[in-house]
Amino acid sequence: MPLRLLKNAFSDAPDPRFFNTPRGLRDSYDVVIIGGGGHGLACAYYLARDHGITNVAVLEQGYIGGGNTGRNTTIVRSNYLTPEGVKFYDESVRLFQDLAEDFDLNIFYSERGHFTLAHTDAAMRTMRWRAEVNKHFGIDSEVVDRDTIAEAVPMMDLDCGGEHPVLGALYHAPGAVVRHDAVAWGYGRGADKRGVEIHQKTRVTGIRVVQGKVTGVETDRGVIKTGKVISMVAGSTPRVTKMAGITTPIVIHPLQACVTEPMKPWLDTIIVSGSLHVYVSQSSRGELVMGAALDPAILHSTRSTLDFVEGLADQMLDLFPFLGNSKVMRQWAGMADMTPDFAPIMGRTAVDGFYIDAGWGTWGFKATPVSGKTMAWTVANDKDHALIEPFSLARFDRFELVGERGAASVGH
Amino acid sequence: MKLIHCPKVGTRPASEFVYGGLWRPMPDPDSTTDMEWSHYVFHRDGAPGVQREWWCHAPTGMWFVAERDTMKDEFLRTMTVAEAMKDLAHG
């Protein structure tokens, strides 16, 4: 990296662009991926790298990583509650740790440690439960007391103004933050190098299904023949599944987040409170990146509201009263695919050749590498990968829900 | 401030209201298959559009039905549960 910097300093030629812009759509592809976010690009990357399938088009209606990949709060962790969830997210954290080397790109992976605060006895019980499940699967996760939290985060008011004192926390040392754009670009560049075509500003308008089998995709730039389509769109899943003629339990709720003005470093861990519905970390630029719970009602819009900032600030000040004078710089919203059990929906569907990677609600970014990898395997072998079997769409027909709400319900 | 009209209580700030999920007819549990029942319990249309929903005015506990555009977040119409039931009966 430093050598490249030096070389460019003495050269007039600009650095090569990250991606080629393919001229037009071809008549047919082996696989079409709808959605050029982290998941879609990761899937394209692993299809090309691990399975040798390079005749692939990624269709993105906007620009790469412009959806929820660029709207999340960049937290990566694996301290979930169910064995299915823990195994899946643990694999994702492991993949994340090697990504920078895979890509030859700095993704600013920064291990911070992750505290999930408990303010009630009931929450402490869930923390102990999560810690035991986590440890059983070899994940670094433990319940800690107030003193440990006070030592790690001296600025926190552990009594929260006396209203809901912190009793303890679940501490997950591998909890990390990652630069989310770099993850999307890294996967995109890796896929592009191996021959995958990434078509931005290409909107899918229909999916052709003949006798229960996918035959093609209609876009605003023409029709493509293909036998395999993967829907990897966060927040637009119901629109895409409607095109394929299937229904899912997914409904869309907005999830909002915001950042403060930059300040001196004072918070080097990630703090989450399920009871207060807040989570916060400090970025390398010094901004506090903060988020809260979902908006309560279904909405297909990325508008943000004053209600959200007011509610969030109220709770944040209980934890960190000294932030009273800091200013909020930006706020935004993403559309989250919500499922009844707070677990994703992945794998094959009733339509032959139509695969789904959806229901990523508020926990999609941390699953980017493992989703791409397992979905690529699933599409290449036309068989659900073992890690995603519990997340199939058919689980709802069998009443076999995954029950991840206790560990996933605060959006982070 | 955003306002919502409750057919019984009148027009009040949105912060007083709680969203209660989709308003939809329940199939007869005795005559449906497991598959139909699971679809009723879990599956949703999910696509943007105008839908009927349960809303509750929290301070008074008054439940009513609203027609809302989920693309624009606009309330088109609100009605009492009795009115919504009548609509349902007329198909």
Q: Where are the domains of chain B?
A: 3-90
Cβ pairs bridging A and B (under 8 Å): 62
Residue A411 has pLDDT above 50, yes or no: no
| Whole-number Å distance between alpha carbons of A331 and A328 | 8
Q: How confident is the model at residue B1, as a pLDDT?
A: 62
Q: What is the CATH number of the domain that holds A47?
A: 3.50.50.60
Cα distance between the two ends of chain B: 36
Orientation angle between helical segments A368-381 and A38-51, nearest 10 degrees = 50
Residue A393 has pLDDT above 50, yes or no: yes
| Whole-number Å distance between alpha carbons of B64 and B17 | 11
Please answer whether residues A239 and A250 qualify as being in contact, where contact means their C-beta atoms are separated by less than 8 angstroms.
Answer: no
A266 and A384 in a common domain: no
DSSP letter, residue A375: H
A275 and A160 in a common domain: yes
Please answer whether residues A68 and A368 qualify as being in contact, where contact means their C-beta atoms are separated by less than 8 angstroms.
Answer: no
A189 and A50 in a common domain: yes
Task: List Cβ neighbours of A160 (8 Å cut-off, separation of 6 or more).
Answer: A119, A166, A276, A318, A319
A56 and A202 in a common domain: yes
Q: What is the CATH number of the domain that holds A147?
A: 3.30.9.10
| Whole-number Å distance between alpha carbons of A280 and A203 | 34
Structural domain ending residue among the three candidates A311, A338, A365: A338
Q: Write out residues 328-347 of A within 8 Å (CB-CB) of B.
A: 340
Q: Is residue A194 part of a domain?
A: yes
Token pair recorded at residue A240? 């895409």
Expressed as residue numbers, the domain containing A31 is 25-72+181-249+341-407
A185 and A334 in a common domain: no
Q: Is residue A164 part of a domain?
A: yes
Q: How confident is the model at residue A272, as a pLDDT?
A: 95
| Averaged pLDDT score across all residues of chain A | 93
Q: A258 exposed, middle or buried (CB, 10 Å; 0-12, 13-18, 19+)?
A: buried
Contact between B43 and A298 using a beta-carbon 8 Å cutoff: no
Collect all residues of chain A within an 8 Å Cβ-Cβ radius of residue B70: 252, 298-300
Task: Count up the domains in chain A and report the number.
Answer: 2
| Whole-number Å distance between alpha carbons of A23 and A202 | 12
Please answer whether residues A48 and A196 qualify as being in contact, where contact means their C-beta atoms are separated by less than 8 angstroms.
Answer: yes
Q: Is residue A77 part of a domain?
A: no
Please answer whether residues A166 and A119 qualify as being in contact, where contact means their C-beta atoms are separated by less than 8 angstroms.
Answer: yes
Structural domain ending residue among the three candidates A297, A315, A338: A338
CA angle (A263, A76, A182) in 5-degree steps: 75
Torsion over CA of A68, A74, A78 and A83, rounded to 10 degrees? -10
Mean pLDDT of A135-163: 95
A360 and A329 in a common domain: no
Q: Distance from A252 to chain B by nearest Cα, in Å?
A: 7
CATH node for B3-90: 3.30.2270.10
A187 and A166 in a common domain: no
Q: Distance from A114 to chain B by nearest Cα, in Å?
A: 32
Please answer whether residues A315 and A292 qualify as being in contact, where contact means their C-beta atoms are separated by less than 8 angstroms.
Answer: yes
Q: How confident is the model at residue A67, as a pLDDT?
A: 94
Contact between B53 and A297 using a beta-carbon 8 Å cutoff: yes
Residue B29 has pLDDT above 70, yes or no: yes
Looking at the complex, does the CB of residue A396 fall below 8 Å from at least one CB of chain B?
yes
| Residue of A129, A132, A355, A342 lying closest to A230 (CA atoms) | A355
Tell me the per-residue pLDDT of A88-104, one tens digit each, with 9 for 90 and over.
Answer: 999 999 999 999 998 99
Q: Distance from B91 to chain A by nearest Cα, in Å?
A: 23
Collect all residues of chain B within an 8 Å Cβ-Cβ radius of residue A297: 19, 53, 68, 73
Contact between B44 and A238 using a beta-carbon 8 Å cutoff: yes
Q: Is A193 helix (H, G, I), strand (E, B) or coil?
A: helix
A363 and A323 in a common domain: no
Nearest CB among B18, B19, B73 relative to A301 is that of B73
DSSP letter, residue A156: S
Which residue from B minimizes the CA distance to A246?
A: B45
Q: Is the pTM of this model over 0.80?
A: yes
Collect all residues of chain B within an 8 Å Cβ-Cβ radius of residue A241: 46
Which stretches of chain B sit within 8 Å of chain A by CB? Answer: 15, 18-19, 34-35, 38-39, 41-48, 51, 53, 68, 70-73
- pLDDT band at B91; cut points 50, 70, 90: low
Looking at the complex, does the CB of residue A266 fall below 8 Å from at least one CB of chain B?
no
Q: What share of chain A is helix, strand, coil (3-state, %, to 5)?
A: 35, 25, 40
- Counted residue by residue, chain B has a size of 91
| Whole-number Å distance between alpha carbons of A189 and A196 | 9
- pLDDT band at A407; cut points 50, 70, 90: low
DSSP letter, residue A28: B
Cα distance between the two ends of chain A: 32
Tell me the per-residue pLDDT of A168-207, one tens digit each, with 9 for 90 and over.
Answer: 999 999 999 999 999 999 999 999 999 999 999 999 999 9
| Residue of A197, A1, A24 lying closest to A108 (CA atoms) | A1
Nearest CB among B34, B35, B70 relative to A298 is that of B70
Residue A8 has pLDDT above 80, yes or no: no
A257 and A172 in a common domain: yes
Residue A16 has pLDDT above 80, yes or no: no
Collect all residues of chain B within an 8 Å Cβ-Cβ radius of residue A242: 45-47
Task: List Cβ neighbours of A240 (8 Å cut-off, separation of 6 or more).
Answer: A34, A204, A207, A231, A233
Contact between A397 and B38 using a beta-carbon 8 Å cutoff: yes
Task: List Cβ neighbours of B75 (8 Å cut-off, separation of 6 or more).
Answer: B4, B5, B66, B67, B68
Q: Compute CA distances A263 → A156, A183, A331, whole Å.
A: 16, 25, 17
Nearest CB among A239, A249, A398 relative to B44 is that of A249
Best B43, B45, B67, B71 residue to mutate vs chain A (most A CBs within 10 Å) = B43
A300 and A327 in a common domain: yes
Collect all residues of chain B within an 8 Å Cβ-Cβ radius of residue A237: 46
| Whole-number Å distance between alpha carbons of A279 and A354 | 36
Looking at the complex, does the CB of residue A297 fall below 8 Å from at least one CB of chain B?
yes
Tell me the per-residue pLDDT of B5-21, one tens digit each, with 9 for 90 and over.
Answer: 999 999 999 989 999 99
Identify the residue whose tokens are 């696509």.
Answer: B47
DSSP letter, residue A397: T
Structural domain ending residue among the three candidates A338, A365, A394: A338
Which residue from A minimizes the CA distance to B70?
A: A299
A155 and A187 in a common domain: no
**Pairing relationship of beta strands A229-231 and A31-34 according to DSSP bridges:** parallel
Looking at the complex, does the CB of residue A403 fall below 8 Å from at least one CB of chain B?
no
Looking at the complex, does the CB of residue A10 fall below 8 Å from at least one CB of chain B?
no
Residue A295 has pLDDT above 80, yes or no: yes
Nearest CB among A239, A248, A301 relative to B43 is that of A248
Contact between B46 and A399 using a beta-carbon 8 Å cutoff: no
Token pair recorded at residue A226? 């293909």
Collect all residues of chain A within an 8 Å Cβ-Cβ radius of residue B38: 396-399
Q: What is the ipTM of this complex?
A: 0.93
Token pair recorded at residue A292? 């809260």
